[in-house]
Amino acid sequence: MANHKSALKRIRANNRKRLENRYFMKTMRTKLKDIRLVSDKAEATSKLPSVVSIIDKLAKKGIIHKNKAANLKSGLMKKINKL
C-alpha cells in the first residue's frame, strides 16, 4: 500500500483513467464490429466517418498507438472498397 498522500492520489487518478480508457476502447471495438458486419456499401460508407473520428481521437489521446489507428483505418477502407 502507498505511504504518501501523492501516491494515494495517483492510485485514484489511475483507476479513473483506466475506467475511462476501458469505456473508450469498448466503444471503439463495438463501432468497428458494427461496420465490419455491414454488407451494404452505402451504409458502410455513411458509418465510416464516425468510426474514423473515434479512432483518431483515441490515437490523439494516446489510448491506442498511432500506427494501430492507421492500421485499423486502412483495414476498414480496404473492406469497404471491396464491397
Q: pLDDT tens for residues 37-83? A: 999 999 999 999 999 999 999 999 999 999 999 999 999 999 999 98
- Residue range 29-47, pLDDT digits in tens: 999 999 999 999 999 999 9
Does residue 3 carry a pLDDT above 90?
Answer: no
Instruction: Name which of 76, 36, 37, 42 is nearest 56 in CA terms.
Output: 76
CATH number of the domain enclosing 12 = 1.20.58.110
* Number of structural domains in the chain: 1
pTM across the whole model:
0.84
User: Residue 51: how many CB atoms within 10 A of its CB?
Assistant: 19
| pLDDT of 4 over the 80 cut | yes
Q: Report the alpha-carbon distance of residue 69 to residue 55 in Å, rounded.
A: 6
Alpha helices in 38-65 (DSSP H): 41-61
- Indicate if the pLDDT at residue 14 is higher than 90: yes
Residue 66 structural domain = 5-82
